[in-house]
Amino acid sequence: MKLISKIALVVLAVASLTACGSKDSEKKIAALEARLNELEGKKGPTPVATPAAAVEEAKPEGPLPVAQFETVEHDFGTITEGQKVSYTYKFKNTGEAPLIIQSAQPSCGCTVPEWTKDPIPAGGEGYVKAEFDSNGKPNAQNKTITVTANTWPKQTTLRFKAMVLPKPEGPAK
């Protein structure tokens, strides 16, 4: 029975590693390791490698850009599994300095971001486009794109959701 439990935990650990979101994966792995230790009769928590404590950054001095998004949330509604949908988050630089987007990091490989690459002058407009591929993603989906720019705070989180209807199985009758 112990062997079956260990095999099941290893399978879950592998599935966790391939899941979207590295922080969630780390938490799942830590929980699985703790459970494995419990099953093996070991005492104490399993040490988990954690990154060095993040150094808190101070707000930069001087004029700063400000990304004023029209919206930071979007609902694609109900779509069919396999559909690719996209939404463009538009924003205006309401700050006093040019805005530069350094990155747009999706929470999952099923989302591909695209964004304004050139500096956006004060008063100028830009965008972050999210393309979501629902293939293999049935049911309720909630995804994010973390935009890092020379703003304060440095990161803005854009969110979208969709209800993905599973592909019909088998040939139509």
What is the rounded CA–CA span in Å between residue 116 and residue 130?
A: 12
pTM beyond 0.75, yes or no = no
pLDDT at position 42 is 59
pLDDT at position 50 is 45
Q: What is the DSSP string of 47-70?
A: P---PPPPPPPPPPSS----EEES
Q: Are strands 155-165 and 73-80 parallel, antiparallel or unpaired?
A: parallel
Q: What are the backbone angles phi and psi of residue 82, rounded to the nearest 5°?
A: 105, -20
pLDDT at position 60 is 86
pLDDT at position 16 is 45
- Distance, C-alpha 40 to centroid of its chain: 34
pLDDT at position 168 is 81
pLDDT in tens, the chain (173 residues): 555 555 555 554 544 444 454 556 566 666 766 766 666 665 554 444 445 445 677 888 889 999 999 999 999 999 999 999 999 999 999 999 999 999 999 999 999 999 999 999 999 999 999 999 999 999 999 999 999 999 999 999 999 999 999 988 766 55
Cα dist from 164 to 9, 19, 106, 160, whole Å: 29, 18, 18, 13
* Contacts by residues 167-172 (CB-CB < 8 Å, ≥ 24 positions apart): 167/80, 167/81, 167/82, 167/138
